[in-house]
A and B are shown apart, each in its own frame.
Chain A
Amino acid sequence: MAEAALQRSGDGAARLALEIRGLQAWYNESHILHGVDLDVREGEVVTLLGRNGAGKTTTLKAIMGIVGKRSGSVAFNGRELINLPIERIARLGVALCPEERAIFASLTVKENLFLPPAVAKTGAMSVDRIYALFPNLRERLSSGGGKLSGGEQQMLAIARILRTGARFLMLDEPTEGLAPVIIQQIGRTIAELKREGFTILLVEQNFRFASTLADRFFVMEHGRIVDAFASVELEGRMGFLHETLGV
């Protein structure tokens, strides 16, 4: 069924940015991912849906290489990542904005923003554009990273990966715990990034937020993809989604 959805949706001409086949992942002894299949086309926004503990965050981390052990295949722009160390994967232009945001408290906002090294010669967003997208950050450049509000932390976490030239962004629950007005701002930013041709893999609990942004959806349960569909098919899936996600 998932394969069928992949065939039907989109124009079919766009190149695959990410192609995951049979991805399994473990933390210590616990087996979290049991064979994930997932594709993301270039320029697409794809959203991973699923209950807590379904394996969404682990999928992002497994792509990045941040799990104890992984197997299967993760191809990024045709390049196999499964045996590469974390930093090599990042250098290929894969960027992660983690759920906990991971702003460094011992660094200033400016140091946080400029910390990630450039991974590509082109495609990076200029600092001026970043300040235009997130005006609050500019005012807080000399503050300590630990002193930011949740919304500011989230903006900084997104901003710092835009500067590097990475064109494939993985955003893990970017709206979690934020005020509606900030959520809107983040939504506008993601839409903007999509217009600029960034490829985005989004994990989101906020189903309404995701439904306005995503081209396609994948639904996870127990460490596997159980459904995949395009945004036009969303209406028809509401019943199923209610059942699986409890949304």
Chain B
Amino acid sequence: MTATVDASAATDSTGRNRKANLIAFAVMALLVAIAPFVAYPFFVMQALCFALFACAFNLLIGYVNLLSLGHAMFLGLASYVCAHAAKVWGLEPVSAILVGTVASAALGLIVGALAIRSSGIYFAMITVAFSQMVYFFCVEAPFTHGEDGIQGVPQGLALGLFSLSNPWILYVFVAIVFLFGFLAIQRIVNSPFGEILKAIRENEPRVISLGYRATLYKLAAFTLSAAFAGLAGATKAIVAQNASLTDVAFAMSGEVVLMTLVGGMGTFYGPVVGAVIVVSMQNYLAQFGEWVTVIQGVVFVACVLAFRRGIVGELAARAKVTL
């Protein structure tokens, strides 16, 4: 008797979740479609790249409980490699983006292999240190042009067909990349692989005792997260037509944490909402100079102390659904 009740309650909540997610996705897709008409398109594209970056970061913190404080290395490296591939090797943009993404995935595999045996704060420190190393590399390597960065990256013809120098085509292209990345991450989290990741987050020794090699799963998650962060960085290089030290700097690693925290860690839509908020904040507060950093810090502290679920997490908890 009780079992039947529980089962129907479970189906009920799955149904509710499906419905809520359908609505959320429809709202998001609609906003992506109308955004360039109400806001400055370049700004919206930047926001979409950061949103994807935050979703990639969230794959780790939200579903494996691994806090990376060096994720800028993946965003930045892919951005440089993509810019170099497009400008110097003359690759068309899709291939250049893929090359950048693969470079970050490879970096993720190496860093992950070294860091993944640690957890918690140790893991966080290791990621900081490695990202600093990548930063120094980007300062000194000849192809990144140090302080100048890579400027004037050609947008070119995507797949040889679509001219990305047309702002509307570029916008559609970025929107597709973002939605693809978003859905792919959602798919990964909801797959059997994602279920094991979540089980590792809840009780790692138990998952190991069931015969799963938890370390490999975590490494795969780390590499995937690095790859999606790379996808975001590479796309951003095409959008902004440059790659610079900003994208690989420590502050960027902090910003992605802030985005995810504000929006809601461990929610699909939280990082997107958070990214839009943080990017808007930077945009509209830019006139206040360094106060932006102070305000970001205050928001950080306030979220940690009193608003740990974030915006979407709080909404989802009130509506009793998973978003």
A–B direct touch, CB within 8 Å, in complex? Answer: no
The interface of chain B, by Cβ under 8 A from chain A, is none
The interface of chain A, by Cβ under 8 A from chain B, is none
